[in-house]
Amino acid sequence: MIQEKTMEDLRHMANEEGLILQGCGGDLQEWVDGINDLLTQEGILLNGTKFEHAATFQHDGLTNLLFSFEGVELNVGKLAMWRIQTHSQFGGTWLSDYVPNRLGGFLDQPNQQERPKPHCSLLEQDGNIFNLMGAASRTLREHGMADQAKEMCGRITGGNCHTYHEALSIISEYVETELPIPQNPSKGKKEKHAYER
């Protein structure tokens, strides 16, 4: 059974993750069956599990399908590669990327401010963004925040983060650093400190 969801439904799914395929025309049940078969053959769906919780929603004139990860055993690394390789065909993206980038964000984000952001010294680090991301990830894990570390890395490497500025901004949402966030040149040079002379 394929559920119908609204944009608001998706924005209330902050604690869930799933795969979204965009532009699914025709019989949606055939899409669900076909994707389950394909991902089983690719070794992505494991131990006989299938996407049982599929939902459909309309956005930007497209019919889209959401495959919830609930109750499914996945090779996530293989799925991530498959999503990238087939993006031109299926427009695949993660629920956690789609909602913030296309729908204005989740309405019931888990409160990340319940615990303070740990401090992570990045001054001594190589400025390569992957080194900075690794240092921030280690700091989060050391403070018992492995879920946040995984979420942070996923946001940076998931395909919707395109610049050094965006990546550093994401890192700063999770850890306190002494590095200034570089100003995004597309925003104009005087945005934050227009009062300065």
Query: Does one domain contain both 16 and 84?
Result: yes
Query: Does one domain contain both 89 and 125?
Result: no
What does the pLDDT read at residue 94? 93
107 domain-assigned: no
Number of structural domains the chain divides into: 2
191 domain-assigned: no
What does the pLDDT read at residue 47? 95
In angstroms, rounded to a whole number, what is the distance separating the alpha carbons of residues 30 and 34?
6
Q: What is the DSSP string of 52-97?
A: --EEEEEETTEEEEEEE-TT--B-HHHHHHHHHHTHHHH--EEHHH
End residue of a domain, out of 56, 77, 102: 102
What does the pLDDT read at residue 64? 97
End residue of a domain, out of 102, 120, 148: 102
For 93-113, b/e burial (b = at least 16 CB within 10 A) is bbbbbbbbebeeebeeeeeee
Whether the CA torsion 147, 153, 159, 160 is positive or negative: it is positive
In angstroms, rounded to a whole number, what is the distance separating the alpha carbons of residues 51 and 165?
36
What does the pLDDT read at residue 197? 38
Query: Does one domain contain both 86 and 121?
Result: no
Domain that includes residue 163, residue range:
112-186
pLDDT in tens, the chain (197 residues): 899 999 999 999 988 899 999 999 999 999 999 999 999 999 999 999 999 989 999 999 999 999 999 889 999 899 999 999 999 999 999 999 999 888 888 886 554 445 678 888 876 666 788 888 999 999 998 888 888 899 999 999 888 788 888 888 899 889 987 666 555 544 444 444 443 43
What does the pLDDT read at residue 109? 55
